[in-house]
Amino acid sequence: MAKVWIDDQEIELGDNERLNGIEAARRVGVEVPHYCWHPGLSVVASCRMCLVECGTKNSETGEVSMLPKLVPACQTPAKDGTVMVTNSEKVAHARAFVEEALLIDHPIDCPICDKAGECNLQDYHFEHGQQERRADIKPFTSRRRSMGETVTLFVDRCVMCSRCVRFCREVTGTNELMVVQRGAHEEIDVFPGFPLENKLSGNVVDLCPVGALGDSDFLYSQRVWFMKTHNGVCTGCSTGCSIQIDENQDKVYRIRPRTNPHVNQWWMCDDGRYNWRYIHDDARLIGPSVSDPAVSGNGASSNGDGSGLGLMEWSTVIARVDDDVRTAGKMAVVLSPHLTVEEAYLLCTYARDVDPDALIAVGPAPVVGEDETFSQGFTIRAEKCPNRRGVEEVAAVFGKRLTLDELLPKITRDGIQTVWVTGGYPQADWMDEATANQLAAAQMLVVQDIADSPLWQVATHKMPSATFAEKEGSYVNFSNRLQSVPWAIRPPAGARTEGSVYWQLLGRSGLYQSKIVLKEVASEIAFFRAAGEDVGEHGVDLTIDMLAGA
Amino acid sequence: MQANDPDILWVEEPKLGLAGKLYLPLIAQGLTTTTRHLFSKKITVSYPDTEPEIANPLIYRGVHRLNRDEQGRVKCVACFLCATACPAHCIDIIGTESPWPDREKYPESFTIDELRCIYCGMCEEACPVDAIELTSLYNLTGRTREEMVFDKEKLLSVHDQTIDKEPMRSQGGATSQGGFP
Ligand code: SF4
Ligand code: FES
């Protein structure tokens, strides 16, 4: 047990904890300003912003001997007897001087800098900087050059912390970025002909403590203080990175990784980061409809494209679907691996309610290429869906779980009347025409999806559904970690989340609440038992209970 | 704020004296003021036949204008600070990369809903490059709501109309620098 003193506060560190001064100070709620240190990267102690007074306390005599010079907290381990002072005048001076030095050749173009509002240089200047600028330098426009497809460098805004360079060396192992020139002329650059082009490149933008590295995709689209941040889970692959969704008035502007030591640590891949535009695609399906010869025959509420589909109100559609499904009898359900655990559970419950022998199948889980692992262990998985594990485990307790291929021949053979398919895949080609036609062999084909597909074309009951940013619920990733997230934006008018539809079909009152459903799931399905308690920001590991159950 | 908040200072209403209770002295006092105004110089004008004279157009808070820089380009750098400061949320900006080499960002579109605006002048105060200013144009009319949503061109034309009579308040924050003066 190590005892450490920080500004007169005493903390005890565990035997296996290896913390530096910044981390130890955080434990007692003291923030040591820093630029170059990042928990995911090696320590270089080059920015000198984290300078503190440091000393040791003799455990026998209780005497404290301080070092004459200031030391960087990022490089100083918190050992037994370490004493750190972060609030003395000496420290305050050191911080003010570092800030002054950084601002001497900074363009101070905050009004047009995307980082303004979440910039460490800005924040630290207000907190630790000097009131007046002694250098007589007018604001100027930063030089700018492209580092790669997604990243732009505003050269003069850089504070030379080298986080970005270390990231490319240590985390991706691709070494694209480097420091060129020396001394006051130091700049970040890439070697000509070798742009920053790895699948994690977007992370350097989050890493950069100032506005030097900009995301070309997000550049100038919003000021950060207009956006609200919501927790989310990336649905791009089965890693299920924890993310933050930044949104303003129901429009998503960017997606950033959220620190989660058990899943993605501090990073996420560019595939997940940039592949969200389909949320706001003009081709998103809106407006539910039920094909009804009688309705289109008299033209009362036909949608006018001659497809014989009557567009309807959501409330009538849900009542109609319920009616039709219950009259039809035998039912089969295809659970998409894009459904949340709660939605899969509610749909299965509903199907069982309609037909006690309902067949439950799990929809296709697209696999693209192979798992891609980077030098520090970050992995982009080949399975491009977030919740195959979750829906499989839900399906398993509702009888024999089938694959889609196993289900297809059964439709005609067993005389299935209703097939209920859930989609939600961002890939436009997730379903081919042949499969769609086989599914349509049933008398009724209920489809919930976000984009047009051959399946949508042949469906009889169509219900536009929601994307990941619009739903609340839980996802289980490849390693059986369950993460629960709230919704970030509302679905477009005319689309509804799957969960709210099932909620209403089951005749439950009030609004759909995934938390309540998750409690039910946890109490009913052994696999999900660990999710019964509060699921924190980092999710819960379901494996422990799985081992106990085995 | 609670009624028992220590920051609230409760005061008693002063008691009426005899003169106050009689009313008559107060009536005489009031009538004197009325009569004095009857014969003094009139400051009201019969608008719209006569236009009022604006004493100091530089501090008047009327219709907005978007200033131009020395090269006639819109001075605004699309920093959104006015939109942030605006309590009525009537400013809508779409920023993008500027087409000029010496400037980084500029407003692709800039609209102000003049009907929503409460003419508080916060935008003018927030602007780091003195690109938005309130002019002394006060009689603003339109036939439709849409007409009253002024876009960039319209706001620049207000500049062209008023710049001779109302010079820019300051030359601070030359736009090529995009920063605070
Ligand atoms: S570009 Fe940003 S992350 Fe890279 S060295 Fe400069 S300040 Fe640090
Ligand atoms: S954070 Fe310690 S020197 Fe940079």
Cα–Cα distance, B54 to B49 (Å, whole number): 16
Indicate whether B178 pLDDT > 60.
Answer: no
**Is B128 inside a domain boundary?**
yes
pLDDT mean over A521-532 = 92
pLDDT at A549: 56
Cα–Cα distance, A222 to A228 (Å, whole number): 11
Cα–Cα distance, A46 to A159 (Å, whole number): 10
Ligand 1, residue A213: give the atom nearest the CA.
1
Indicate whether A308 pLDDT > 60.
Answer: no
Q: Which residues of B touch A226 (CB under 8 A)?
A: 80, 84
pLDDT at A300: 38
- Cβ of A212 below 6 Å from ligand 1: yes
Average pLDDT over all residues of chain A: 91
Indicate whether A244 pLDDT > 80.
Answer: yes
Percent of chain A past pLDDT 70, that is, above it, reads: 95
Are A112 and B96 in contact (CB < 8 Å)?
no
Indicate whether A446 pLDDT > 80.
Answer: yes
Q: Which residues of A touch B96 (CB under 8 A)?
A: 220
pLDDT mean over A374-402 = 91
**Is B69 inside a domain boundary?**
yes
- Beta strands A540-541; A481-485: pairing state: antiparallel
pLDDT mean over A292-314 = 50
Indicate whether A501 pLDDT > 80.
Answer: yes
Q: How far is CA B143 from CA A442, B140, B147, B149, in A?
A: 58, 11, 7, 12
**Is B76 inside a domain boundary?**
yes
pLDDT at B29: 93
Task: Kindly report the nearest CA distance between residue A181 and chain B, in angstroms.
Answer: 25
Q: Which residue from A32, A46, A70, A84 has its CB within 8 A of the most atoms of ligand 2, so it is best to mutate?
A: A46
Task: Kindly report the nearest CA distance between residue A505 and chain B, in angstroms.
Answer: 40
SS3 of residue A3 by DSSP? strand
Indicate whether A548 pLDDT > 70.
Answer: no
**Is B171 inside a domain boundary?**
no
A283 close to A451: Cβ distance less than 8 angstroms: yes
For the ranges A112-126, A287-301, A404-418, B67-81, which has the lowest average pLDDT?
A287-301
Reported as a single tens digit per residue, the pLDDT across A471-489 is 999 999 999 999 999 999 9
Residue among B179, B158, B181, B169 at smallest CA distance from B77: B179
In degrees, rounded to 5, the angle at the alpha carbon of residue A178 between the alpha carbons of residues A174 and A184 is 165
Indicate whether A322 pLDDT > 80.
Answer: yes
**Is B172 inside a domain boundary?**
no
Residue range of the domain that includes B77: 64-162
Reported as a single tens digit per residue, the pLDDT across B84-95 is 999 999 999 999
- Partner residue facing B177 (CB), from A138, A220, A225: A138
- Whole-prediction pTM: 0.86
Helix (H) or strand (E) holding A547: helix A543-549
**Domains of chain A (ranges, CATH numbers):** 2-87 (3.10.20.740), 307-510 (3.40.50.740)
SS3 of residue A139 by DSSP? coil
- Cβ of A208 below 6 Å from ligand 1: yes
- Partner residue facing A139 (CB), from B79, B80, B177: B177
pLDDT mean over A157-186 = 94
- Partner residue facing A141 (CB), from B78, B96, B102: B102
- Cβ of A331 below 6 Å from ligand 1: no
Percent of chain B past pLDDT 90, that is, above it, reads: 62
**Is B131 inside a domain boundary?**
yes
Residue among B140, B138, B130 at smallest CA distance from B167: B130
Q: Which residues of A touch B176 (CB under 8 A)?
A: 141
CA dihedral A519, A525, A527, A529 (to 10 degrees): 40
pLDDT at A307: 45
Reported as a single tens digit per residue, the pLDDT across A36-67 is 999 999 999 999 999 999 999 988 888 999 99
pLDDT mean over B12-32 = 91
B104 close to B98: Cβ distance less than 8 angstroms: yes
Are A111 and B96 in contact (CB < 8 Å)?
no
Residue among A336, A311, A329 at smallest CA distance from A443: A329
- Beta strands A540-541; B64-66: pairing state: unpaired
* Block residue for tokens 């270089």: A44
pLDDT mean over A120-131 = 94
pLDDT mean over A285-291 = 90
Instruction: Identify the CATH number of the domain in which residue B104 sits.
Output: 3.30.70.3270
Q: For chain A, how many residues are written? A: 550
pLDDT-derived band at B179, boundaries 50, 70, 90: very low
| Residue ranges in A242-375 assigned as alpha helix (H) | 270-274, 293-298, 314-328, 341-354
Q: Which residues of B touch A107 (CB under 8 A)?
A: 179
Task: Kindly report the nearest CA distance between residue B89 and chain A, in angstroms.
Answer: 12
Cα-trace Rg, chain A: 28
Burial of B164 (0-12, 13-18, 19+ CB in 10 A): exposed
pLDDT at A311: 66
For chain B, how long is the longest CA-to-CA vector?
A: 79
Taking the CA of A179 as reference, the closest ligand is: 1
Are A112 and B79 in contact (CB < 8 Å)?
yes
Burial of A399 (0-12, 13-18, 19+ CB in 10 A): middle
Taking the CA of A35 as reference, the closest ligand is: 2
pLDDT-derived band at B171, boundaries 50, 70, 90: low
Q: Which residue of A has its CA nearest to B103?
A: A141
Q: Which residues of A touch B104 (CB under 8 A)?
A: 109, 112, 141-142, 144
Q: How far is CA A480 from CA A218, A522, B111, in A?
A: 33, 14, 50
Distance B37 CA to ligand 2 centre (A): 73
For the ranges A162-166, A191-195, A258-262, A306-310, which has the lowest average pLDDT?
A306-310
**Is B103 inside a domain boundary?**
yes
Q: Which residue of A has its CA nearest to B177?
A: A140
Q: Which two tokens stand for residue A174?
A: 């691709």
Are B104 and A112 in contact (CB < 8 Å)?
yes
pLDDT at A230: 97
pLDDT at B43: 84
pLDDT mean over B143-156 = 95
Confidence check on the interface: ipTM exceeds 0.85, yes or no: no
* Block residue for tokens 């506060």: A9
- Tell me how many residue pairs between chain A and chain B have CB atoms under 8 A apart: 54
Total domains in chain B come to: 1
- Amino acid (1-letter code) at residue A267: W
Q: How far is CA A181 from CA A35, A188, A189, A190, A547, in A?
A: 21, 9, 10, 12, 56
B100 close to B132: Cβ distance less than 8 angstroms: no
- Beta strands A331-335; A444-449: pairing state: unpaired
**Is B151 inside a domain boundary?**
yes
Average pLDDT over all residues of chain B: 89
Are A226 and B80 in contact (CB < 8 Å)?
yes
